[in-house]
């Protein structure tokens, strides 16, 4: 690694066990020995070098300590991972996380819509945004694709809170102009378009922020509103699109009634021009092969939300079928349908869903999907998701074990996959030592 003494660099060196991915480790059993597993990059007891918030290199700690112009933080004995990337989560819904109920449509009416109405109040929106982004960091999540509410103030406050913490965040005003309470319903399409364009102008591409055209789901948008969303996607470069698709069987049936001309639920979005490489669609449980190929052809991704799918009783995602068709899959908490912001618990739920389907999810595939895989799906692999040189230093520092059972299990692990799999299964946010966002400790 070369140093550049003429630069007034902010130089930081973090020591610990570095684990990240250089490629998709794929399905199939873990290979013996970390070096043998494709995609995995395991660098135990290394220094990770950060300059001006970006990763510039790494070296084994045994090769010596960094020079005096590096601020060194010794996390040896800890696991250093790229910050998790939550590709689908609702900021106002930490107010309703863990609500007892039935399935999706009742859950929305009973808990979610009433909670989201409170975000019309700027004070609620401001406090809610702060609480939410701090909660993300508290769980080692340093980047997220987020639904706020229909209220412009909720978008403003969310972006402002993320910007203040230097986080990578993708979000946008939720669009709903039918089948929602009056207090959450957009007015005419022209007015909603003007509000959206103003928010895009203010926030899209500012620092680490990007705007997502945010169609809640096909049920709550008129065809005219969907067409407006498609226009924005067509006209403004670099926008993301986020929505829900094929989550719940009653929802799928309702969409079929509302859009009889569409071949499928996914086709509703395709017809509106909403599918593309920056489209993030949560769930995708009740898709068919044609839908999966459409995702692959357009580059759109499914944000798999295992905790939510189990909690709301939505169904078991056929993840391998999506990838076999060439579609991308990222990982999401979907709080508050999901019951946790912990990625360990989320990945553990993903493991259990695949186990019920007769498929085994390795620790490598799980962690890849939560980091580099999500970054690649979002077209942000140059910035987040790995310890590649040039990436932002979004780093989570984890205890390998917390509590007597996990410590006991950790000590007995014979090889790396066994150790990391047990960590995913037994750890949660209480294992987090600290988190760095673009090299700043938060
Ligand atoms: N479909 C439409 N809105 C929502 C939501 O808020 N959560 C989930 N899980 N699904 C949805
Ligand atoms: Zn959701």
Is residue 317 a contact partner of residue 304, using CB atoms and an 8 Å limit?
Answer: yes
Same domain? 78 vs 88: no
Ligand closest to Cα of 333 equals 2
180, two tokens: 């929602």
pLDDT of residue 31: 81
Q: Which residues line ligand 1 (CB under 6 A)?
A: 90, 104, 108, 112, 216-217, 244, 247, 308, 334, 337
Q: Which atom of ligand 1 is nearest to the CA of 247?
A: 10
Residues 223 and 116 in one domain: yes
Is 121 in the same domain as 96? yes
- Residue 356: inside a domain, yes or no? no
**DSSP of 201-234, one letter per residue?**
HHHTTSTTEEEEEEE--GGGS-HHHHHHHHHHHH
Residues 30 and 118 in one domain: no
Q: Is the pTM of this model over 0.85?
A: yes
Nearest atom, ligand 1, residue 336 CA:
7
Q: Please indicate, yes or no, whether residues 195 and 323 belong to a single structural domain of this protein.
A: yes
135 in a domain, yes or no? yes
Which of the four pLDDT bands, split at 50, 70 and 90, describes residue 101? confident
Write down the pLDDT at residue 329.
98
Q: Residue 429 is encoded by which pair of tokens?
A: 């946010």
Specify the residue with its C-alpha closest to ligand 1, atom 11: 244
Q: Are residues 90 and 66 in the same domain?
A: no
User: 423 and 291, same structural domain?
Assistant: no
Q: Are residues 328 and 411 in the same domain?
A: no
Q: Is 421 left (phi over 0), alpha (psi -120 to 50) or beta?
A: alpha
Q: Which atom of ligand 1 is nearest to the CA of 220?
A: 2
Q: What is the total count of domains within the chain?
A: 2
Q: Which ligand is nearest to the CA of 146?
A: 2
| Domain span holding position 102 | 84-341
Is the confidence at residue 171, as pLDDT, over 50?
yes
Say yes or no: 253 and 306 in one domain. Answer: yes
Query: Residue 325's domain is classified under what CATH number?
Result: 3.20.20.140
Q: Quick one: pLDDT band at residue 4, thresholds 50, 70, 90?
A: very low
Q: What is the DSSP code string of 298-327?
A: HT-EEEE-HHHHHHTT-----HHHHHHTT-
pLDDT at 5 over 60: no
Would residue 179 be called left, alpha or beta, if left means φ above 0 and alpha means ψ between -120 and 50 degrees? left
What's the CATH code of the domain at 60?
2.30.40.10
- Looking at the CA of residue 147, tell me the nearest atom of ligand 1: 6
Task: Indicate if 312 and 434 belong to the same structural domain.
Answer: no
Q: Which residue has the least CA distance to atom 9 on ligand 1? A: 337
User: Would you say residue 347 lies in a domain?
Assistant: no
Compute the distance between CA of residue 52 and CA of residue 211 in angstroms, rounded to an integer: 25
Ligand nearest to the CA of 221: 1
Residue 48 lies in a domain: yes
């Amino acid at each position: 690694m070369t140093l550049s003494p003429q630069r007034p660099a902010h130089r930081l060196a973090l020591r610990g066990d570095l684990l990240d991915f250089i490629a998709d480790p794929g399905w199939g059993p873990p290979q013996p020995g970390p070096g043998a597993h494709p995609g995995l990059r395991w660098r135990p007891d290394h220094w990770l070098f950060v300059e001006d918030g970006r990763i510039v290199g790494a070296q084994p700690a045994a090769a010596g300590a960094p020079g005096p112009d590096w601020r060194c933080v010794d996390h040896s004995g800890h696991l250093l991972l790229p910050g998790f990337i939550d590709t689908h989560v609702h900021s106002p819904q930490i107010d309703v996380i863990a609500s007892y109920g039935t399935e999706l449509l009742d859950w929305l009416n009973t808990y979610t819509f009433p909670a989201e109405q409170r975000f019309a109040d700027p004070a609620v929106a401001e406090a809610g945004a702060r609480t939410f982004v701090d909660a993300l960091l508290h769980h080692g999540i340093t980047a997220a694709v987020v639904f706020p509410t229909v209220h412009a103030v909720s978008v403003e406050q969310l972006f402002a809170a993320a910007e203040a913490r230097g986080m990578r965040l993708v979000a946008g005003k939720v669009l709903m102009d039918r089948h929602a309470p009056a207090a959450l319903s957009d007015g005419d399409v022209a007015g909603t378009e003007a509000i959206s364009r103003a928010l895009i102008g203010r926030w899209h591409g500012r620092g680490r922020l990007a705007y997502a055209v945010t169609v809640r789901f096909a049920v709550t948008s008129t065809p005219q509103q969907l067409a407006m969303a498609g226009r924005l996607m067509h006209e403004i470069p670099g926008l993301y699109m986020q929505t829900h698709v094929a989550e719940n069987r009653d929802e799928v049936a309702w969409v079929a009634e509302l859009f009889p001309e569409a071949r499928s639920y996914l086709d509703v979005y395709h017809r509106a021009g909403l599918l593309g490489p920056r489209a993030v669609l949560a769930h995708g449980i009740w898709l068919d092969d044609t839908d999966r190929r459409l995702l692959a052809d357009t580059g759109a991704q499914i944000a798999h939300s295992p905790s939510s799918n189990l909690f709301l009783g939505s169904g078991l995602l056929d993840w391998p079928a999506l990838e076999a068709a060439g579609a991308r899959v990222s990982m999401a908490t979907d709080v508050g349908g999901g019951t946790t912001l912990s990625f360990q618990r989320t990945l553990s739920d993903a493991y259990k869903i695949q186990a019920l389907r007769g498929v085994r999810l390795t620790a490598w595939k799980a962690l890849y999907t939560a980091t580099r895989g999500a970054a690649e799906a979002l077209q942000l692999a140059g910035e987040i998701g790995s310890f590649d040189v040039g990436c932002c230093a979004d780093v989570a520092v984890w205890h390998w074990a917390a509590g007597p059972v996990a410590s006991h299990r950790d000590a007995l692990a014979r090889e790396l996959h066994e150790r990391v799999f047990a960590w995913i299964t037994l750890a949660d946010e209480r294992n987090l030592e600290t988190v760095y966002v673009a090299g700043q400790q938060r």
